[in-house]
Chain A
Amino acid sequence: MGWYIFKRLVMMIPVLLGASIIAFSLIHLAPGDPARTIAGEHATIQTLERIREKYGLNDPLPVQYWIWLKQAMRGDLGRSIVSNEQVTTEILERFPNTVELTLCAMILAIGVGSVAGIVSASKQYSALDYATMGVALFGVSMPVFWLGIMLMMIFGVFLRWLPISGRIDTLIPFTRITGFYILDCIITLNFRALISSIRYLILPSVALGTIPMATVARVTRSSMLEVLRQDYIRTERAKGLSERLVIYRHAVRNAMIPVVTVIALNFGLLLAGALLTETVFAWPGIGRYVVKAVGMRDYPVVQGCVMFFALIFVVVNLVADVLYVYIDPRIKYK
Chain B
Amino acid sequence: MEQKPTKQAGQLFRRLRENKSAMFGFGILVVLVLSALLAGIIAPNDPNPSPPQLEFKLKPGFWSDEGVKGMPLGTDALGRCVLSRIIYGARVSLSAGFVAVTIAMVLGILFGTIAGYFGGWVDSLIMRFVDIMFAFPALLLAIVIVAVIGQGLDKAMIAIGVVYTPQMARIIRSSVLYIKEMEYIEFQKAVGSSNLRIIFRHVIPNSVAPVIVYGTLMLATAILDAAALGFLGLGAQPPTPEWGAMLSKSYNYIVGGAWWAATFPGLAILLSVLGLNLLGDGLRDTLDPRLKT
Contacts and interface: CB of A to CB of B under 8 A. Distances in A.
The answer to whether A and B assemble together is: yes
A169 to B, nearest CB: 17
Contacts of B224: 143
Contacts of B293: 218-219, 221-222
B232 A279 contact: yes
Interface residues of B, number: 43
Contacts of A290: 140, 143
Contacts of A29: 148
A31 to B, nearest CB: 8
B277 A140 contact: yes
Contacts, number: 133
B232 A19 contact: no
Nearest to B140: A309
A143 B269 contact: yes
Interface in B186-244: 220, 224, 227-228, 231-234, 244
Interface in A170-203: none
B41 interface: no
| Interface size classification for chain A | 35 or more
B38 interface: no
Given A18-B129, A150-B266, A153-B254, A294 B147 contact: yes
Given A291-B143, A299-B147, A313-B136, A141 B262 contact: no
B4 interface: no
A269 interface: yes
A49 to B, nearest CB: 25
A152 B252 CA distance: 11
Interface in A117-162: 137-138, 140-146, 149-150, 152-153, 157
A276 B255 contact: no
A291 B140 CA distance: 9
Contacts of A14: 128, 131-132
A32 B263 CA distance: 40
Given A141-B274, A272-B137, A22 B255 contact: no
Contacts of B262: 146, 149, 153
Contact of A280 (B143, B251, B273): B251
23 contacts: A15-B131, A18-B129, A18-B132, A19-B135, A138-B270, A141-B277, A143-B224, A143-B228, A143-B231, A145-B248, A149-B254, A149-B266, A152-B251, A152-B254, A153-B254, A153-B263, A276-B232, A279-B231, A294-B144, A294-B232, A295-B233, A306-B140, A313-B135
Instruction: List 5 tightest A-B contacts by C-beta distance, closest first.
Output: A146-B266, A18-B132, A272-B139, A268-B137, A141-B274
